[in-house]
Structure 1
């Protein structure tokens, strides 16, 4: 008989963002065909909705998502964010279980905070359905850090304290009888104490066995097995079902199993509670950021002031802020003045004076210490700086360092290995001694002493605290693996305008050519530059405003050429504004006098901007910027640390060379387009270099994406910020040195935590298994094994907290 293999036909309905032509569909299909089992895609170009068919389980929605993104497009998706009670060793298993839910594209879980982020396909499911499915699968959803129920918290603490006190009583009562046999002991008291402790910690026991049945055992599973098996065995002896053997050994007493059961649960439950409180304290800054992004706002409407929730404020609304108020939006001060505390955002403890005359910018989450202001809103909700910091701190937790990925693999196997080891230990000791009680006591100790948690939280805990500590000193870390990569970087490349310079260029002079008229030239120039986001465009527009040159609205054509300039058409005149390369490409003839003027301007460290009308040179605008005062100090420090430091700029070679000499750079490249910067970085990295690129403009986005590490200045364009691994919120280059120092400390503590976790487990597991018993008669009882396990956990957290003690130099 011939059996035909039945193919599994699967169909996914998705909405693709960015599809507007058949070529787009072809590009996507080409990537999808790389997935085993993909058969067909049908796309409605008008709506972006698509049906994708597969005949294999290997063709999953997550792989489809990755393929579509690889093709340069994206899926329309929604995100469910919540917090779960989870042990580090369960993270991998839970991520796989969630990925199996219909409509889930991907799931990421932070082992240090319990934060879970699930991207879902709204054409196949919704948030509520996924949330209910999580509950059905036994996932324990907990309240988010910002929601606190103090009464419930107090009850939990009292319960843990009572359980701990009863456990201590059981151990003391049993030890008194063991040390002095003349004192009678009522084992019924121990049975009652141990049973009460189990009842008080019913949730721990229930969760432990539940995880075991789910084939995702964690620390709670080991504790539940150790405590309940000890109690059941002790109860069997107490009831006469089993008879105590090896009774000549005073270490093993009939009461040992009751004290072990009570001690394991009593010690670990209180210890885990205190450990959770320590973790909350360590991550408190994230909670402060989240709180600061919420609250109330007073909107000024005509002569009335209306109080609303901060998320109800719209761009352009005027918000009133009084002394002591937290500023609810990002915006510009249009009336009043005062001292603003921005320490939550920048780490700068000294209040900053802001006033309407300067049109100073203020940020949501900062506090008006003294004064009164009216602020015109420019950013609200998720677009504010504080929201970006909070989201960045959350997102960074999902990018794991290489060493953490290794630890995660070990943790995922360790619990199963320990359960198997406990069985082996029990069988081995029974064969050697014939004592069920001794063999079970050693097995219970192995279960209690082994804790995957220190391995699981060794790195994510210190990385999470490092990310939050970075935000305190004005650095937004967007990837958790940045600290690890920072220590490996060996080349630093700076952009010039807005990075090495203040990014506040000013027009020094306009040199007219071929008898042109300045007002006419600047009229054309500024009319086109008004459409550009480049830093130099702003300086030209400011010059036009100061000289009251009018702008034209008759721009019939505009095109921007990254790294070269722009061209446009006004009143049938073609205008080009940019560098020599752009002029050459357009066929503009430049005589020696013009080239000499351009080089002369460059030699002074200024930027020459050539304006041509109808392919004839009309003017050279000299724009100068100021070097950041901290730049020489930072570059010197980087070179002392062993970095090779260079400059990559779109400016002419004369300017770049001047900067190279003034700052004593190792290399400098000028007249670069965006792709040229990326190619330089690729060349350096192909020869073993690991480039840290710092920039701020649209032109720098490709370079940041290509480099080993990309860092954006705080005033960078949105595309540059999105490409960066970190953002210097204060626009101070000394942040690079602070980040380097912090990275070294994070890496050092992460390694210490990992080494400690391995040493702890490799040392105490053999002792718990009875390695010292034959020669020295030493037994590590389960209750003391559990106490050692909790102390190991707390040691890792306390060591991680040392990151917060680091001071930026």
Structure 2
């Protein structure tokens, strides 16, 4: 038996309890998780259990008095399953979910295709020869084959005294179908009583088709939940180069132990945490810090699993391996955050749990009241009214209320460059009162650029000197060199060949052309070579340093010729977007792994009052929890791997489209553009979608509140009016049309 964690023995008096986590299959709503949890907890020998709908898993603490197979059988008895015997149980779960999704997609498509001709005949050609038989032939596979899961789940729920949406679907479609079959074969029963023998095959099949569409949308949203974890795991290489007795040896990552010396070549991912023992390079640590500028690594410096080496090579000693690395902790934290978030109880499922027994009770009461009323044709009226109650109470409008609004809302978002992966984001977005923004790549462009440059005024041939700068920076391995070359690429510069080129670690580069020597680097490089910096260049450098920009100089062997400022530029729309959020009463916070000075400079520029600098991934998630503990509904906006834990923890998670794949997988919304103005638009779209859902539910319920009593015959004592089941079916269809029509109004909404 394979599980996701080692056995944890827990002694309790005479019994030894074991705690395991298992994947759960078959859950389609939050109410399902409650059902699974209650049946597991009720199993003799189980001390405690918890079922999480968000990550489709159950942890179970059980004694040796019960086997996991017995617990599995109890779970199966209500229509769900535990995966207890698989090499990779969660992979097995994903495979099953994918198969289920594909099968559901086929069933839904066939249900739609078969329902179309049934609806056309039932609405427009009801008197055509053999029309009822044709509709029955088409409806039978829809109800009993394509819709069999509704009946199966309803039966298993009923065995344990429970009811949900499946119960209502099974009852309404089953009774409508059986009533229609009776009327098809025995129309005289009604004709003799002066009534038309109407059939409801179209109602039965259309309900199955519509509800299947809703379930298909839910399954699609669930199908990608683990892709972020897979990509995080993919940051660790499968094999590494270990140095043993001076020889290079390829070793599987699982066999690396503390103390191994590992060689990292240019472009390699660092496999485990450790300390550099030889060599120098720059490492992209954006997955931890979020900052785009690679960090210099030399002897004694720490390196971390999942970060990416740049152009140099180095050796390091492994200090943390397996589950102890920072990458492993990030993966674990993302898993826990995705799973620990309490699922939003689906309103329709909650209502269905109350609504179903009430409707059944009303239908039975209606039948009984008519039977004891002593009225003429009491049995006829009892049958007609009780069937009318069940048909008019059909959950079609109720089932369509949320998915149609969500579908239109998602489409509206896509039109505005907002991709929405999960309906929960639309449910919560309008409640957000705190927005956390990552700095790099979210508020800023996420890429260092030359923002200012000043050349010594006495220089006449600047173009030739710029060509030398370009030639030097093209050969440089320093991460900031690319910013300079990108700036100079815009100019038409002559080609220059350097006679000598040398990189000076931690300071810059030196070159020689003919008899002239040139330097590009920081102030320490110039000080080491006793190169003068005139007052004007020094003043510019000082001013730009106060703005938290990185300063580099270009000089010959006697004096500085130019000074340049390099920074991660703030996006043009950031200030406006932050102001819009603040004017909406939303508190805006900025978190960054960058230093305090840079963070404050960016915050001043864009108007953010709440800033936290030098934060690690876990600190970002902890800050989200801190705000949530204060009762705030938190939206997190980020773009990097280092934001993934905080994104998973937040109530609403939004990824920038040009960011990492992992951030986009974890987040429930993705902005296709890098325009931060889309964030307030996304939250506004949520508000409009929720209003539409509430309107839909209102109309669906008003229709039931008015329709059910009328269908039961409440007007009969006053004016002799009885609602024909045919009119009940038409009213049901009309309520669905009104819900769809109201949802479509979202298309014209302004964001």
Using the size of structure 2 for normalisation, the TM-score is 0.56
1:743 equivalent in alignment to 2:722: no
1:202 equivalent in alignment to 2:183: no
Displacement of 1:621 after TM fit?
9.4
Checking the alignment, whether the CA contact within 8 Å between 1:103 and 1:125 is kept in structure 2 is no
Aligned to 2:592: 649
Counterparts of 1:453-602 in structure 2, within 5 Å, are 453-506=396-449, 539=483, 601-602=544-545
Deviations 1:188-228 (A, max 9, x none): x9xx7766654553345646899557625443642442463
Displacement of 1:650 after TM fit?
3.4
Aligned to 1:29: 8
For 2:368 and 2:542, locate their aligned partners in 1 and report how far apart those are by CA, in whole Å. 86
Q: Provide closer, same or farther for how the CA distance between residues 461 and 254 of structure 1 changes in structure 2, counting only shifts above 3 A.
A: same
Deviations 1:710-731 (A, max 9, x none): 3221222334334433222211
Q: Provide closer, same or farther for how the CA distance between residues 501 and 153 of structure 1 changes in structure 2, counting only shifts above 3 A.
A: closer
Deviations 1:335-378 (A, max 9, x none): xxxxxxxxxxxxxxxxxxxxxxxxxxxxxxxxxxxxxxxxxxxx
For 2:148 and 2:643, locate their aligned partners in 1 and report how far apart those are by CA, in whole Å. 53
Q: Secondary structure at the match of 2:740?
A: helix
Gaps spanning 5+ residues in structure 1: where?
Answer: 1-11, 17-23, 43-53, 72-93, 106-118, 170-188, 245-251, 287-395, 512-517, 531-535, 556-565, 567-576, 579-595, 611-619
Checking the alignment, whether the CA contact within 8 Å between 1:479 and 1:726 is kept in structure 2 is yes
Query: Which segment drifts farther, 783-792 or 60-69?
Result: 60-69
1:798 equivalent in alignment to 2:741: yes
For 2:172 and 2:622, locate their aligned partners in 1 and report how far apart those are by CA, in whole Å. 54
Aligned to 2:639: 696
Checking the alignment, whether the CA contact within 8 Å between 1:497 and 1:625 is kept in structure 2 is yes
Deviations 1:373-405 (A, max 9, x none): xxxxxxxxxxxxxxxxxxxxxxx9xx9973x61
Residue 2 of structure 2 is aligned with which of 13, 22, 25?
13
Q: Provide closer, same or farther for how the CA distance between residues 795 and 728 of structure 1 changes in structure 2, counting only shifts above 3 A.
A: same
For 1:678 and 1:231, locate their aligned partners in 2 and report how far apart those are by CA, in whole Å. 59
Q: Provide closer, same or farther for how the CA distance between residues 201 and 660 of structure 1 changes in structure 2, counting only shifts above 3 A.
A: closer
For 2:91 and 2:436, locate their aligned partners in 1 and report how far apart those are by CA, in whole Å. 42
Aligned to 2:80: 99
Residue 367 of structure 2 is aligned with which of 422, 426, 429?
426
Checking the alignment, whether the CA contact within 8 Å between 1:505 and 1:624 is kept in structure 2 is yes
Q: Secondary structure at the match of 1:456?
A: helix
Q: Provide closer, same or farther for how the CA distance between residues 160 and 59 of structure 1 changes in structure 2, counting only shifts above 3 A.
A: same
1:409 equivalent in alignment to 2:350: yes
For 1:608 and 1:703, locate their aligned partners in 2 and report how far apart those are by CA, in whole Å. 32
Deviations 1:441-481 (A, max 9, x none): 21121121111222223223322332343233222223321
Deviations 1:28-71 (A, max 9, x none): 737999xx9964889xxxxxxxxxxx995789997899799999
Q: Provide closer, same or farther for how the CA distance between residues 401 and 280 of structure 1 changes in structure 2, counting only shifts above 3 A.
A: closer
Checking the alignment, whether the CA contact within 8 Å between 1:279 and 1:797 is kept in structure 2 is no
For 1:465 and 1:198, locate their aligned partners in 2 and report how far apart those are by CA, in whole Å. 33
For 2:19 and 2:584, locate their aligned partners in 1 and report how far apart those are by CA, in whole Å. 55
Q: Secondary structure at the match of 2:197?
A: helix
Residue 162 of structure 1 is aligned with which of 111, 114, 121?
121
Checking the alignment, whether the CA contact within 8 Å between 2:638 and 2:663 is kept in structure 1 is yes
Residue 265 of structure 1 is aligned with which of 168, 185, 201?
201
Checking the alignment, whether the CA contact within 8 Å between 1:205 and 1:223 is kept in structure 2 is yes
For 2:668 and 2:83, locate their aligned partners in 1 and report how far apart those are by CA, in whole Å. 32
Aligned to 1:581: none
Checking the alignment, whether the CA contact within 8 Å between 2:53 and 2:343 is kept in structure 1 is no
Checking the alignment, whether the CA contact within 8 Å between 2:426 and 2:690 is kept in structure 1 is yes
Checking the alignment, whether the CA contact within 8 Å between 2:448 and 2:567 is kept in structure 1 is yes
For 1:95 and 1:760, locate their aligned partners in 2 and report how far apart those are by CA, in whole Å. 37
Checking the alignment, whether the CA contact within 8 Å between 1:475 and 1:727 is kept in structure 2 is yes
Aligned to 1:360: none
Residue 638 of structure 1 is aligned with which of 568, 572, 581?
581
Displacement of 1:699 after TM fit?
3.5
Counterparts of 1:228-307 in structure 2, within 5 Å, are 228-229=178-179, 232=182, 238=188, 254-256=193-195, 258-260=196-198, 262=199, 264-266=200-202, 268=203
Q: Provide closer, same or farther for how the CA distance between residues 96 and 484 of structure 1 changes in structure 2, counting only shifts above 3 A.
A: farther
Aligned to 1:448: 391
Q: Provide closer, same or farther for how the CA distance between residues 684 and 124 of structure 1 changes in structure 2, counting only shifts above 3 A.
A: closer
For 2:745 and 2:11, locate their aligned partners in 1 and report how far apart those are by CA, in whole Å. 47
Checking the alignment, whether the CA contact within 8 Å between 2:591 and 2:620 is kept in structure 1 is yes
Q: Provide closer, same or farther for how the CA distance between residues 155 and 456 of structure 1 changes in structure 2, counting only shifts above 3 A.
A: closer
For 2:641 and 2:140, locate their aligned partners in 1 and report how far apart those are by CA, in whole Å. 57
Checking the alignment, whether the CA contact within 8 Å between 2:2 and 2:84 is kept in structure 1 is no
Counterparts of 1:316-395 in structure 2, within 5 Å, are none
Q: Secondary structure at the match of 2:746?
A: helix
For 1:429 and 1:721, locate their aligned partners in 2 and report how far apart those are by CA, in whole Å. 60
Q: Provide closer, same or farther for how the CA distance between residues 761 and 480 of structure 1 changes in structure 2, counting only shifts above 3 A.
A: same
Q: How many residues align?
A: 522
Pairwise CA RMSD: 5.7
Q: Provide closer, same or farther for how the CA distance between residues 629 and 265 of structure 1 changes in structure 2, counting only shifts above 3 A.
A: same
Checking the alignment, whether the CA contact within 8 Å between 2:433 and 2:586 is kept in structure 1 is yes
Q: Secondary structure at the match of 1:143?
A: helix
Aligned to 1:308: none
Deviations 1:653-691 (A, max 9, x none): 333333333333333333444444444444433333333
Residue 225 of structure 1 is aligned with which of 175, 189, 194?
175
Aligned to 2:239: none
Aligned to 1:143: 106
For 1:142 and 1:720, locate their aligned partners in 2 and report how far apart those are by CA, in whole Å. 28
For 1:124 and 1:642, locate their aligned partners in 2 and report how far apart those are by CA, in whole Å. 43
Displacement of 1:639 after TM fit?
1.7
